[in-house]
A and B are shown apart, each in its own frame.
Chain A
Amino acid sequence: MLLFGVFVAAVGKDPLEVYQLIYAGGFGSGFAWQNTLSRAAPLILTALCVALPAQAGTMVIGAEGAVVLGGLAAAVTGYAVGDASPLVVKLAMAAAGMLIGGLWIAAAGALRQYRGVNETISSLLLTYIAIALFNHLVEGPLRDPASLNKPSTPPIGSANMLGALPGLDVHWGLGLGAIFCIATYVLIYHTTWGFAIRVAGGNARAARLVGLSVDRLVIAAFFLGGAAAGLAGMIEVAAVHGSANASLIAGYGYAGILVAFIARHNPLAILPVAVLVGGISASGGMLQRRLDMPDATVLVFQGLAFLTILASEALYGRLKLFGHGARA
């Protein structure tokens, strides 16, 4: 916070006013809260895509690919079964999104367990493949001929869209994300299966010695994480866009990495962290509109805040990290 104040003063704005606006824009009113929560919703699920494999001792950064393909699968499914009752359509869409997202990330898990391919690299590279595949399909075979200047899949129909949470102007993605978080928290920390995953993540050899099927556990954790990200894609389609198009590639998958790390991969901690990140990005607009500050200001703030948090976990080398932060 202090560092950011120095930065703000350096560009010639009053730091106190900036703090005030960040607060007002993110958390200062009922409206600001809803703004914040809407932005937090997709991050919760994509953060899980990092946090769950991390429980198994791995580092997956390819949630974006699962979001994009999960969204596409959901949009295609929604259109295909569009005549069924809305509840069935929504469930089918969610299932399709989670399945495809899950398989996509599980592929990175399988590559790791059976072929020794580093999962960080493979999941990132899979994201590029996912986006290329997505663009090809949306602009080619799956394109709705009526979408002239913005290639999209055919719309799923407004009856099949996800609505807002009761009493709020925030779509159901937030609710589903929260449920998913709590469920995985219970799964990881309060079941033997979750314990097994953590053992496998802590020491794979020890886990094998006590007879755990490490390969299967790890891949299952990958699948669950991918399913969360795929669900995020489905929600973007079902609650926001109504079809799959290039707007789906919005970087939620990457923002989720940040959230997962700050939450130290604890599914429950992801909720408040996602809200915090959502709030900061909501307030970014306020800074631009009121003070004519560039969009990058908020990125600097975010970078500084998170580097500080991460740096404080490490006892040494703090000065070096702060130096990076100031330049971010």
Chain B
Amino acid sequence: MADDSRIEGRRRVLRAALATGALATIPGLIPRALAQSKLVIGVIYVGPKDDYGYNQAQAQAAAVIRKMPGVTVIEQEKVAETMDVQKVMASMIEQDGATLIFPTSFGYFDPHVLRVAEKYPKVRFAHCGGLWTKGKHPANTGSYFGYIDECQYLDGVVAGMTSKTKKLGFIAAKPIPQVLRNINAFTMGARSVDPSVTTRLIFTGDWSLPVKEAEAANTLIDQGVDVVTCHVDSPKVIVEAAERRGVYVCGYHASQATLAPKGYLTGAEWNWVTPYTEHVKAAQSGQPMNNFLRGGLKEGFVKTSPYGKSSSEAARKKADAVKGEMTKGGYAIFKGPLKDNTGKTVIATGSAHQQTDPVLEQMNYLVDGVIGKI
């Protein structure tokens, strides 16, 4: 602890702290000797892991891999996208012996994961978000992500069949490509069963603003919207507000069915167990990590919530038929002719974008039928 001496000289209070420290040389302060053969996995969440949303979806997968043989899972929640996460990753490695880390928030990747990964080349970092680029990012980092717009499309189908007012509501955090893709897929799903349906859109401006989200839900419902869905970190308050006002709701990230036993139609959920398991197995067998893991319904990266009791038989049938086609593979949601809500053609007739197409990740428009502006 050579570094300590200089600080110590400067600060009297610290000296006292160190003195007590010296007295308390209790065994067990050294990193807990975790059995060498066990794979220690660290999972880091940006919010609480029981948020009924983004973090809970990750925590559910962590709970599954925890049960795999030869695996120890350590978790830390509410870690900010600052120096905080760099230090948490380093702590997991240095103090707990972790060799596989799941930093689950999008904003962790650049620069935090990249910087720590450089320092610890033997540790694997599996980041959620899909930013990894071959040749640009280190081989011990990788990203996994799912095409959840498929589930949003199916939600839209059910919502379109259910709505009586033909007005759907979407509450979104920020106008970024990932979110726009969900809004568009939801709207297109609904309009595929009834072209007169429109989606009213409200951006709240940030990922977790419960008060604004509740206000937005109420505003939409006041305008006659009778099916609400969202893309925010925790859909909890939106689902609860919808249930209280007696309208239908589609969930997001994880299942919020228990929050709205009456109005919950279905929901778009992550199924992170699939990429988690693959990364854990590769780490256990010593195979190089798969740096770019992607998938949709077919690959089991995403799933829909079980239908709630208010979704009609006809709606279920219709959605299941589309789902069947999606799981077959090759299904393109975004295909021409497609116009945005200002009347401009964004995808020409005859061209179709497969889910893997990077063009979709630069989406900067709202499709026809969305009432709102970026």
Contact residues of A with B, CB < 8 Å? 20, 23-25, 27-35, 37-39, 41-42, 135, 139, 148-151, 167-169, 171, 178, 236, 240-242, 245-247, 250-251, 271-273, 275-276, 282, 285-286, 288-290, 292, 294-295
A30 touches B1 (CB 8 A): yes
Most chain B CB within a 10 A radius of its CB, from A178, A246, A272? A272
| Given A28-B21, A286-B91; A247-B4 close (CB under 8 Å) | no
**Docked pose: A247 CA to B148 CA in angstroms:** 25
B205 touches A250 (CB 8 A): no
What residues of A have a CB within 8 angstroms of the CB of B175 in the complex?
139
| Given A275-B14, A289-B74; A148-B176 close (CB under 8 Å) | yes
A289 touches B10 (CB 8 A): no
B78 touches A31 (CB 8 A): no
Number of B positions contacting A (CB below 8 A): 55
Residue B67 is within 8 A (CB to CB) of chain A in the complex: no
What residues of A have a CB within 8 angstroms of the CB of B329 in the complex?
none
B21 touches A23 (CB 8 A): yes
What residues of B have a CB within 8 angstroms of the CB of A23 in the complex?
21, 24, 29
B13 touches A289 (CB 8 A): no
Contact flags B179-215 to A (C-beta < 8 A → 1, else 0):
0000000000000000000000000011000000000
Least CB separation from A289: chain B residue: B74
A151 touches B174 (CB 8 A): yes
Residue B76 is within 8 A (CB to CB) of chain A in the complex: yes
Of B107, B176, B206, the residue contacting A247 (CB under 8 A) is: B107
B75 touches A292 (CB 8 A): yes
B111 touches A240 (CB 8 A): yes
Q: Given A150-B176, A246-B107, 13 other A-B contacts at CB below 8 A?
A: A29-B29, A29-B30, A31-B94, A35-B90, A37-B7, A39-B84, A139-B174, A149-B178, A167-B2, A171-B83, A272-B11, A285-B76, A289-B96
Residue B286 is within 8 A (CB to CB) of chain A in the complex: no
A149 touches B129 (CB 8 A): yes
Residue B237 is within 8 A (CB to CB) of chain A in the complex: no
B221 smallest CB distance to A (angstroms): 26
| Given A28-B29, A135-B205, A148-B176; A272-B91 close (CB under 8 Å) | no
A288 smallest CB distance to B (angstroms): 5
Residue B177 is within 8 A (CB to CB) of chain A in the complex: yes
**Docked pose: A178 CA to B6 CA in angstroms:** 13
Least CB separation from A271: chain B residue: B11
| Given A28-B29, A39-B83; A149-B176 close (CB under 8 Å) | yes
B3 touches A148 (CB 8 A): no
A148 touches B76 (CB 8 A): no
Contact flags B79-98 to A (C-beta < 8 A → 1, else 0):
11111101110111011100
**Docked pose: A135 CA to B26 CA in angstroms:** 48
Residue B69 is within 8 A (CB to CB) of chain A in the complex: no
* 22 contacts across the A-B interface (CB closer than 8 A): A25-B95, A29-B95, A34-B3, A35-B87, A41-B83, A139-B174, A148-B176, A148-B177, A149-B176, A149-B177, A149-B178, A151-B174, A168-B3, A250-B82, A251-B80, A272-B12, A272-B13, A275-B7, A285-B76, A288-B76, A290-B96, A294-B77
Of B21, B26, B77, B206, the residue contacting A27 (CB under 8 A) is: B21
5 nearest CB pairs, A to B:
A272-B13, A289-B74, A247-B81, A295-B78, A24-B29
B14 smallest CB distance to A (angstroms): 6
**Docked pose: A283 CA to B173 CA in angstroms:** 32
Residue B295 is within 8 A (CB to CB) of chain A in the complex: no
B120 smallest CB distance to A (angstroms): 12
Of A20, A167, A275, the residue contacting B29 (CB under 8 A) is: A20
Residue B48 is within 8 A (CB to CB) of chain A in the complex: yes
**Docked pose: A290 CA to B206 CA in angstroms:** 32
**Docked pose: A241 CA to B111 CA in angstroms:** 6
| Given A24-B29, A272-B14; A242-B77 close (CB under 8 Å) | no
**Docked pose: A285 CA to B12 CA in angstroms:** 27
Least CB separation from A279: chain B residue: B17
What residues of A have a CB within 8 angstroms of the CB of B78 in the complex?
295
